[in-house]
Structure 1
Amino acid sequence: MTSTAPPSAVPEADPAAPAAPAAPAGGFRLRKPDLSRLDEITAALADTAGEYDRTGEFPHAAIELLHEAGLLTATVGEEWGGPGVSFSDLARILLALGRGDTSVALIATMTLVPHVLAPGRPWPEALYRRILAESAERPTLINHARAEPDTGPGGGTVARRTAKGWAITGRKRFVTGAEGLAYFLLWAVTDEPQPRLAVFVVPGDAPGVEILPTWRQLGMRATVSNEVVFTDVEVGPDDLIEFDGFDAPRPAGGGPAPDQEHANAILLISASLYLGAARAAQDHVHHVGYTKVPHQLGRPVGVTERFRRTAGEIEVLLSTSEQLILAIAGKLDRGEVVSGVEALAAKVAVIRDLTRAVELAVRLLGSAALSQTGPLERIFRDVQAAGVHAPQEDAALLGIGTSALNDYGQRFA
């Protein structure tokens, strides 16, 4: 890793030196991640993953590690002083993080994805510049606060006009990393005669923000994805990044607004973190295969036909999933079109296969796999969350099937 000191403003050029390239729009450069250190970071995260899972505490030290390694801002575009990593490298980063600690990986993903989409979303430039400046100095986590207990996105969360901007009241659930967020990307509807949907940027420490300790899930415990109550939380008139129907501020990075097809491809790449968890389960299987020597067998269990056959099936499932993710990521890197159906189909296949691989690992190792003395019990619980992220499999299959039938109908006609 390069220097761990926070990056500062670009220094003045030496008059005798050749002219430097124009400064990025942010006025500073964010740390470029050293991807050759990913194995080291994976090992460091794995060392603390079990304890964070046991306590359910927010993983502050792990997030600080990712910040120092430049991984939390890896997807910030070069025009904004970021490294602008490729989609393929993003997949590799998430796979490495998930291999170490799935919860930490998900928290990081929720920050990395908004930066991926920022160039096509109407972030006000001053607001985005401020967030990037903070990101250069310290971990600056951001995440959408969208789901609600009783309604859809936005739904029961209302933003009303005030003399200073907006005051927002509502309740959100499943807010990954809630207590560690620097900013909530809060979905709300306006209280106008014709309500409109907006995404407001709310500081995590704003008055009126209350985090409720409601996260008691089977797995992903260290994501601390609690419910958050917003009571008359005030934001400025321009502290929003999307608006349905209003005149939007100028996009931070320019370019077209991202469509749903592009978003579906990002969802597929995000599944890399769960593939990383499955790879960690595979690592544990291999370790047992080499080190467990039953007295009655007199040699490592890994030499048995049953063990080797199951290890082979696990590798087939995981290697094909990895190839599928990297193939889609490579198409995006080359500027090729990835349809929403193609991305959704790949996501369904990847999640099915990685989940199946972990189930096979548990069956192979038997009751020892479910002991809290080893990592496989935690990993098994964590990967159950892979299929929960929207769109879930039933919705994805409905969309995929509808598209396939429509395509056939057009040819048949």
Structure 2
Amino acid sequence: MVSAVARGEPSTALVLTMTYLMHRGISRADSRWSLRLRDALYRSAVSDGALANSLRVEPALGSPARGGLPDTVARRVGDGWELSGHKLYTTGIPALRWLAVWARTDESEPRVGVFLVPREAHGIRVIESWDHLGLRASGSHDITFREVEVPEDNLVEIAAQGPGAQQDNRALAALHLPLNALYLGVARAAQRYFHRFAHERVPSNLGHPVAETERFRRAAGEIELLLDSAEQLVFGGAERVDAGDDSYTAEQALGTKVLAARHATTAVETAVRLLGNPGLSRANPLERHYRDIQCAPVHAPQDDIVLLALGKAALG
């Protein structure tokens, strides 16, 4: 479904994917979400289509995929908490209902936790800063919290500082498969336009569509090979995860994340090169697909972290 939505509007697909990922995490057997909080999210999603996202990235820290403590602080106030801080890339914030905020306590020995905050809570401010190369309609703006009150019951989890409090890229590996599916949708949309162009473009010196030339046919074959192989990795991996296949390893999911992003990006770039200047015109749909696909390799964990993990496993 994510891939199908992304063929038409990848920004919408990204917002949807973030909600899916939260729901997937909540439903895991090892989830620390209370039954009350799970029920609140599930019911609002079913009754109102409520969207949710996790807020982790910060100006000073960057992505938690590389370790470190958040600057967003949770302070004890009475029977609850107060949150203050600044988050980046809050995808879908104009439409979100729920915010799962990653923060540290202000204790002498800080603990790190996740706090569920309703979007309408007092003290939240959206800074409309999103001005990106791709996925421009995703509304991934900055957001600040100023003494936002959070009831004790809305504390999802909290842990002492240490490895357990950091983002576990290996454990989260399979959750990146829906994002891969999103960018494959972008690449398939680019491929669809490439085919249309090839059939409609009839240069006067040829007298027939460029789709009949070896150059375009060879490129079309390369694009299909790249995308077909990437889809086998992504959709095959997703089927194994859904089936509870324990033989599907985190390393395989991480490898799929890298390869699928590379294949999708290369496929779109190949189409753009064949079209030449028309492919980079703002009036051309391919230009938007080209911009959007540049976001594929950026999602954490990035290639260097993944390759290091794969290398350690291979040599271990």
Per the normalisation by structure 2, the TM-score is 0.92
Determine which of 169, 177, 195 is the counterpart of 2:110: 195
Q: How many pairs align?
A: 303
Kept in 2: contact 1:104–1:222 (CA 8 A): yes
- The structure with more radius of gyration: 1
Cross-structure match for 1:159: 74
The answer to whether the 8 Å contact 1:176/1:225 transfers is yes
Conserved 8 A contact 1:264-1:340: yes
What is the aligned partner in structure 2 of residue 212 from structure 1?
Answer: 127
Aligned to 1:107: 15
Deviation, structure 1 residue 315? 0.2
> 1:261·1:339 contact (CA, 8 Å) conserved in 2?
no
Answer 1 or 2: which has greater strand percent.
2
2:300 partner SS = coil
Identity %: 43
The equivalent position to 1:186 in structure 2, one of 96, 101, 112, is: 101
In structure 2, the partner of 1:391 is 301
2:103–2:112 Cα contact (<8 Å) kept: yes
Alpha-carbon distance between aligned partners in 2 of 1:268 and 1:202, rounded to the nearest angstrom? 26
RMSD of aligned residue pairs (Cα, Å): 1.7
Residues 1:172 and 2:87 aligned together? yes
Shift of 1:241: 2.0
Give how far 1:240 is off: 2.3
* Aligned residue runs from structure 1 range 311-322, under 5 A: 311-322=220-231
1:118 maps to which of 18, 21, 26: 26
**TM-fit CA distance, 1:275:** 0.6
Give me the whole-angstrom Cα distance separating, in 2, the residues matched to 1:138 and 1:332: 28
Q: Whole-Å Cα distance in 2 between the matches of residues 346 and 135 of structure 1?
A: 30
Structure 1 residue 329 displacement after superposition: 1.6
Equivalent-residue separation in structure 2 for 1:240 and 1:281 (angstroms)? 43
Report how far residue 261 of structure 1 moved: 4.3
Consecutive unaligned residues in structure 2, runs of 5 or more:
162-167
Q: Runs (4+) of structure 1 moved beyond 3 Å?
A: 259-262
State the 1:381 CA deviation.
0.5
- Checking the alignment, whether the CA contact within 8 Å between 1:186 and 1:202 is kept in structure 2 is yes
1:262: Cα distance to partner? 4.9
1:290 equivalenced with 2:205 (yes/no): no
Deviations 1:339-392 (A, max 9, x none): 111111111111111100000000011111111212110110011010000000
Q: Which amino acid aligns with 2:185?
A: G
Q: Which runs of 5+ in 1 are unaligned?
A: 1-92, 247-258, 407-413
For residues 149 and 161 of structure 1, what CA distance do their matches in structure 2 show? Answer: 24
> TM-score scaled to structure 1, two decimals?
0.71
Following the alignment from structure 1 to structure 2, what is the Cα–Cα distance between the partners of residues 381 and 166? 41
- The equivalent of 1:237 in structure 2 is 152
Question: 2 CA distance for matches of 1:185 and 1:355?
Answer: 31
Q: Give the whole-Å Cα distance in 2 for the aligned partners of 1:361 and 1:126.
A: 49
Residues 344-359 of structure 1: pairs in structure 2 closer than 5 A? 344-359=254-269
Aligned to 1:334: 243
